[in-house]
Structure 1
Amino acid sequence: MCSNKPKDPIVLIKTNYGNIKVRLYNKTPIHRDNFLKKAEEGFYKDLIFHRVIKDFMIQGGDLRTKNDADSLSEEKTIGDTISAEIKFPLYYHKRGALAAARWGDSENPTKASSISQFYIVTGELIFDEELNNLEKKRFERLKQQIYNDIQSDNKEVIKTLYKEGNKEKITELRNEWQAQAIKEAESRKAETRYSESQREFYKTKGGTPFLDGEYTVFGEVIEGMDVVDKIQNVETNGRDKPIQKVVMDMVVLEK
């Protein structure tokens, strides 16, 4: 039988340690198209993996590393971004996941992705106790987010009650909103949970689950994890930068 489902694009990341083949997800179209465009334009040619942390990830794609890789300084202001496409629990930070780097929450509350920097997860084995704790924290964040949204939608009501000095009504409303947030969070609990297959992957192959729901995962390695492992084991300096450059280039194999 024929299928009309579009194929996920395939990109080859060429490095001086070998080649890494990645599949891009069609369900993250902003990141897919951005990555393909940059790859086709030769944006990544001669850039390096400038941040490498063993049992965590390898990161590259910073344009500043092309001509003066040895003097890369910490960026103080947020750079160009694309909108987040966080699809957890569909996509998660399993070993081999391809994800977009981003600036921190304080300056980037929408979790927008860097327009060019990406990382590939190596990670480590994670077991049920830690996964359970992460689920609990994620549920609490969801509940707080829902409450904050309700409160934001009713800020004019709160302002009026403050002006009137009606503290009793404010307390009553906040209790109602808290109950409403709990009820909605319970109905959306699946958004915070790992499936049995995801748990099994983390326990047997590894990853970085504490990043789930916080960064956009937009693809995965389908060949060349041995090359990723070679890169994660290179010698680095005090800023997690490889002593010997790990240079990249990209070729789009399938669109």
Structure 2
Amino acid sequence: MAKFPKSISLIILSSALLALLSGCAKKETQLHATIETSMGDIVVKLLDQQAPKTVANFVGLADGTRLLEDGQPVSEAEPFYDGLIFHRVIPDFMIQGGCPQGNGMGGPGYTFEDETYTEGEPITGPIPDIDTAEYVFEQLVVPHLRQHQGNSPIPEIAELFGKLREAQSFEPMVGMEMADIAKPLGFEGELKTRGELIDSVRYGTLCMANAGPNTNGSQFFIVTKEGGAPWLDGKHTVFGEVISGMDVALAIQNVERGPQDKPLEDVVIKSISVETVKVKVEEPEKE
């Protein structure tokens, strides 16, 4: 039987090993959303692991299933975003869309919470410091005041708000029992402190627009500023990142604008389609 020269044997062995390693390369399932606009397509990888509620909402609005009534067949779903516009574009900052009214004032008819920080520790007993006081006010009192146009019908809350305005500080809340704020508001859940920041508002990220904490709906924006917008970290949920078509987003940001940074000629979202794809994930090189 003929024998291969040692050099050829090594080449065959190396090729076999490479083929084996290539066949075992790690693959990852990702959700990709294609935002088809009147100026081109933008493809976004949706970050469903770090912002599951936000991604589920976006996908449900994109295909219309999010707004179906109980028992209503899927066949009657009407994609929410189809035909809406990018109503606010600011060069070197962002492009924003998803408002059914086309002016930044509309939404899907509901709001939901942010996914910006991991959960920390439960807040119980006396409020220890100003930072915690501000957080409690933001999470519990602000939604209540927004609901009542700034005039709380609850005496305890109205009195507290008056003290804060007079002091121009959250100092009056320091030392108050958490229950003395939560109980009058009817809050029976468990409020936890902020943990770690989940993601920063980076260049090319897809983020939720809002009117304050926990007021997410349908509006979103794509960051076009080099270096991102770190002053928005923790204030807006990051739920995707552009993987293709960033040139389209940059072109949209530079269209001619009128009042409130609205494009003079509509930039239309024709459709948003979502698909599950498998992609190869590069393993970090070992030293």
Q: Give the TM bin, normalised by the shorter chain.
A: 0.5 to 0.7
Does residue 252 of structure 1 match 2:274?
yes
- 1:101 counterpart letter in structure 2: A
What residue number does 1:95 align with? 203
Higher relative contact order (CA 8 A, sep 6+): 1
- How many residues are paired up? 160
**In structure 2, distance between residues paired with 1:61 and 1:73:** 8
Pick one of 212, 235, 240 that aligns with 2:233: 212
What residue number does 2:222 align with? 120
- CA displacement at 1:123 relative to structure 2: 1.3
Unaligned runs of 5+ in 1: 66-71, 105-110, 125-205
What residue number does 1:21 align with? 43
- 2:30 counterpart letter in structure 1: D
Q: Can you list the C-alpha shifts for 1:187-220, whole angstroms capped at 9, x where unaligned?
A: xxxxxxxxxxxxxxxxxxx211110111111111
What residue number does 1:86 align with? 116
Structure 1 residues 11-90: aligned runs within 5 Å:
11-26=33-48, 27-41=50-64, 42-65=79-102, 72=103, 74=105, 80-87=110-117, 89-90=197-198
**In structure 1, distance between residues paired with 2:274 and 2:91:** 28
Q: TM-score, normalised by structure 1?
A: 0.58
Moved over 6 A (4+): none
- 2:32 counterpart letter in structure 1: I
- CA displacement at 1:254 relative to structure 2: 2.0
Cα RMSD (Å)? 2.3
Q: Quick one: structure 1 residues 82 and 222, their matched pair in 2 at CA, closer, same or farther if it must change by over 3 Å?
A: same
Structure 1 residues 104-253: aligned runs within 5 Å:
104=212, 111-124=213-226, 206-248=227-269, 249-253=271-275
- 2:255 counterpart letter in structure 1: V
- 2:276 counterpart letter in structure 1: E
- CA displacement at 1:114 relative to structure 2: 2.3
Indicate the SS of the match to 2:257.
coil
- 1:252 counterpart letter in structure 2: V
Unaligned runs of 5+ in 2: 1-23, 65-78, 118-195, 278-287
Contact (CA 8 Å) 1:113, 1:216: kept in 2 or not?
A: no
Is the radius of gyration larger for structure 1 or structure 2?
A: 2
Larger strand percent: 2
**In structure 2, distance between residues paired with 1:91 and 1:73:** 24
**In structure 1, distance between residues paired with 2:104 and 2:207:** 22
**In structure 1, distance between residues paired with 2:108 and 2:85:** 20
Indicate the SS of the match to 1:38.
helix
- CA displacement at 1:97 relative to structure 2: 0.6
- CA displacement at 1:8 relative to structure 2: 2.7
- 1:114 counterpart letter in structure 2: N
Larger helix percent: 1
- CA displacement at 1:24 relative to structure 2: 0.8
- CA displacement at 1:2 relative to structure 2: 7.3
Identity level (%): 43
- CA displacement at 1:95 relative to structure 2: 0.7
